[in-house]
Structure 1
């Protein structure tokens, strides 16, 4: 029999991954590779941590739905059984496809559908929505998308995330603010300087700690 999914276990596994990423970054920095090779290596690490975060969110949502389907029933106007198998819960969360979300706000919207929205007081929603994690999550998602696609749209989104982080604001940026800032040529180029990747890992670890503390099991 497979392991029963657990929010606490998922948070612990996530932190194991962030530790491996930290060790990997140390290897990169000590490798003597060219600047371009280091940039690509940092982007590989970015992909790994983004996948680990998606897995953490997916597992927590499966646990939430498996524990109580009533909020999802209300959100969809479909009466689901109160308790369902983990496989059924996973299918309902993913729609039978890979798990994905559109930015931090999209993630909050997805979580809200399964746990009852912003007024339900669910530990996962409350952790993700904290102002402390606005910039780390926005940067993680935007940088990952640009590293994966390198499209004009993903570059603009990455630039907005970086400018908002630099200015310390979560408000909509003005055209003047955007024109005054240049986007990096690559996501890895931005992450590999000024300990930015370490900052990202530190904040994601703190978020995982909150999830571990809030999860019922």
Structure 2
């Protein structure tokens, strides 16, 4: 029988990964790499971090559904047994496919179907202090992975909101400044300067700490 999933264990495992990412970046920053090699190294760190974050979210959602099927029963308008095994919970969370969500807002909407409106996991993820860090993590990951015009534009929006400390770039009072802004040539080019990757990691570690404190086991 596999290990019973645990929110506390998932948070601890996540922080072990972010610690390894920090050590990796310390190493590459002092290795005398070329500018392009350093850029690629930061994109590797970003991808590893995002994968770990997705695993953290998936494990915690499985734990939440395993503990209480009530909110999900209401969301799908069907009566589920009070307790489901972890394999069934994973299937319901993922729909039998890959765990996927559309950015921070999409994650929160999917999460509410499983946790309801009041839950430690939802509170940790929707905390406004982490809005920009999560936005940067997810949009820059897509930019690094796809390098499409769409992913580049979403990265430009996330970077602008972070820089100006605003929720939306669509607000009319920010319009002119936003239109003048530009996306970086790559995710790694932006991340490797001014401690930006550290900012993301620090916020994710704080998120994991909150999950650890809130998780029942």
In structure 1, runs of 5+ residues without a counterpart are none
- TM-superposition CA deviations, 1:107-136 (whole Å, max 9, x none): 00011000113xxx2000111111101000
Secondary structure of the structure 2 residue equivalent to 1:140:
helix
Q: Does residue 4 in structure 1 map to residue 4 in structure 2?
A: yes
Q: Offset of 1:212 from its aligned partner?
A: 0.4
C-alpha RMSD of the superposition: 0.9
Q: 139, 142, 145: which one pairs with 1:142?
A: 139
Q: Offset of 1:33 from its aligned partner?
A: 1.1
Aligned to 1:64: 64
Determine if contact 2:160/2:169 at 8 Å carries over to the other structure.
no
Aligned to 1:201: 201
In 2, the alpha carbon distance for the partners of 1:115 and 1:189 equals: 37
In 2, the alpha carbon distance for the partners of 1:47 and 1:178 equals: 27
Aligned to 1:34: 34
In 1, the alpha carbon distance for the partners of 2:77 and 2:2 equals: 32
Query: How many correspondences in the alignment?
Result: 214
Aligned to 1:81: 81
State how 1:1-217 maps to structure 2 within 5 Å: 1-117=1-117, 121-173=118-170, 174-217=174-217
In structure 2, runs of 5+ residues without a counterpart are none
**TM-score using structure 2 length:** 0.97
In 2, the alpha carbon distance for the partners of 1:114 and 1:179 equals: 38
- TM-superposition CA deviations, 1:120-154 (whole Å, max 9, x none): x2000111111101000000000000000000000
